């Protein structure tokens, strides 16, 4: 009975720590290239373009969308006669949060600056391992 209470308290403490922790974020960089033209389509020689993030005043870098993902795994070991078995259930992106890919950075593309896709949604994986 005491071991059950200890296990329940341990799981509760672990969950509290997990929910208080911030997600993992990733910053990505890219390259912007192309030519600058005037309204008539003529190329403007010697023109430079500077990209700056107004939040951080970082020049030349673009920050992509943040990436948050929670992976969970549950395992149960049990005996079958004199053999051992392990059942495992894994959930990847368990909270099913949408994680967007980086924006299109090619200035010649009609989709410049847009995000057209997302990373994988929630996935489950189950396995059974049998030792004899």
The continuous run of DSSP H or E covering 52 comes out as strand 52-53
Mean pLDDT of the chain: 77
CA dihedral 104, 105, 110, 114 (to 10 degrees): 40
The model's pTM is: 0.48
- pLDDT value at residue 132: 87
Provide the pLDDT confidence category of residue 110 given band limits of 50, 70 and 90: confident
- What's the pLDDT tens digit per position in 26-82? 455 666 667 777 777 777 776 666 666 566 655 566 777 888 899 999 999 999 888
Nearest to 74 by CA among 130, 21, 124, 20: 124
- What's the pLDDT tens digit per position in 18-35? 555 544 444 556 666 677
pLDDT at 114 over 70: yes
Please say whether the beta carbons of 97 and 69 come within 8 A: yes
DSSP 35: -
High-pLDDT (> 90) share of the chain, %: 27
Give phi and psi for 3, each to the nearest 5: -70, -35
């Amino acid at each position: 009975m005491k071991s059950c209470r200890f296990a329940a308290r341990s799981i509760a403490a672990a969950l509290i720590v997990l929910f208080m922790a911030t997600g993992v974020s990733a910053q990505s960089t890219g390259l912007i290239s192309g030519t600058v033209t005037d309204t008539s389509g003529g190329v403007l020689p010697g023109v430079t373009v500077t990209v700056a993030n107004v939040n951080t005043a970082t020049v030349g870098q673009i920050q992509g969308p943040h990436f948050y993902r929670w992976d969970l795994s549950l395992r149960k070991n049990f005996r079958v006669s004199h053999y051992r078995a392990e059942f495992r259930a894994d959930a990847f992106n368990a909270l099913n949060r949408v994680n967007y890919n980086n924006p299109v950075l090619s200035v010649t593309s009609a989709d410049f600056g847009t995000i057209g896709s997302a990373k994988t949604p929630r996935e489950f994986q189950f396995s059974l391992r049998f030792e004899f």
